Amino acid sequence: TITASSESSTRVNQLLAGESDIVTNVPPQEISRVESSGGASVSPVPSTRIIFLQMRYDVEPFSSQQFRQAMNYAVDVESIIENVLQGFGTVTAQPTLSQFTGHKPDVEPYGQDTERAEQLVEESGHAGVDITLQTPIGRYLKDVEVAQAAANQINSLSNVNCELQQREFNSLVQDVTAPNIEDRP
């Protein structure tokens, strides 16, 4: 019998009560409760779910490759994995992980380098720019928390102001998939 529950806390409670044999998508904050239960364990597996910051390449400041690179240098992905996702994640430089077809092992991820980020913002000609990071609410594991961390790291640059806008997933996905790129956020 397969049953579905959209609430992660319900799934974990069902597992710990013996009402379910297997559950998926156990949130990081519930791992220790599952592991200490004595009757259940967690088996992390690679996923095709990739969290990334999408930038519209056809509008300023994101039309500048230097500015896009700066945003990559501004975000400390390893810190987000460790502190927000409690170690459950892997840094990648591409939309697939090494276990999957299409992965290119010679593409290296950006490391955080605030000085380089600020330098690239200056070189891009967009110093002092205000940008908005839009994130869905409750669609992905720790989506708001991940976005808050990224926005705070970008905002910590001396020459970029970054605001976070939380949006309902359905509304955001409608805008992101608009037929004309000019209508997308």
CA distance 41 to 68: 40
Categorize the per-residue pLDDT at 90 as very low, low, confident or very high, splitting at 50, 70 and 90: confident
**DSSP conformation class of 183:** G
**DSSP conformation class of 110:** P
pLDDT at position 55, please? Answer: 93
Rounded to the nearest 5°, which phi and psi values hold at 146? -65, -45
Residues 6+ apart with CB under 8 A from 25: 8, 11, 141
* Helix 143-155 vs helix 65-74: crossing angle, to nearest 10: 110
Query: Each residue of 118-154: pLDDT tens digit?
Result: 999 999 999 999 999 999 998 888 899 999 999 999 9
Q: By percentage, how much of the chain surpasses pLDDT 90?
A: 69
Res. 48: pLDDT tops 80? no
CA distance 142 to 136: 10
Structure tokens belonging to residue 89: 């994640």
Instruction: Look up the pTM and report it.
Output: 0.86
Peptide bond into 61 cis (omega under 30): yes
Encode 18-55 in three state secondary structure. CCCCCCCCCCHHHHHHHHCCCCCCCCCCCCCCCCCCCC
Residues 6+ apart with CB under 8 A from 85: 28, 141, 142, 146
pLDDT at position 136, please? Answer: 94
* Helix 114-124 vs helix 65-74: crossing angle, to nearest 10: 160
pLDDT at position 164, please? Answer: 97
Q: What's CA 178's distance to the chain center, in Å?
A: 22
Res. 109: pLDDT tops 80? yes
Res. 46: pLDDT tops 80? no
CA distance 83 to 81: 6
